[in-house]
Amino acid sequence: QVQLVESGGGLVQPGGSLRLSCVASGTIFRLNAVGWYRQAPGKEREWVIFISSAGTINYIDAVKGRFTISRDNAKNTVYLQMNSLKPEDTAVYYCNLLVGSMNYWGQGTQVTVSS
**Residue 41 burial by Cβ neighbours in a 10 Å radius (0-12, 13-18, 19+):** exposed
Which residue type is seen at 24?
A
Tens digit of each residue's pLDDT (9 = 90 or more) over 30-53 = 889 999 999 999 999 999 999 999
> Over the stretch 48-105, which tens digit does the pLDDT of each residue have?
999 999 999 999 999 999 999 999 999 999 999 999 999 999 999 999 999 888 999 9
- Comparing CA positions, the residue from 7, 5, 19, 96 lying closest to residue 58 is 96
Angle, CA 92 vertex, CA 101 and CA 31 arms, to 5°:
30
The answer on pLDDT for 17 being more than 90 is yes
Nearest one of 61, 113, 60 to 85, comparing CA atoms = 113
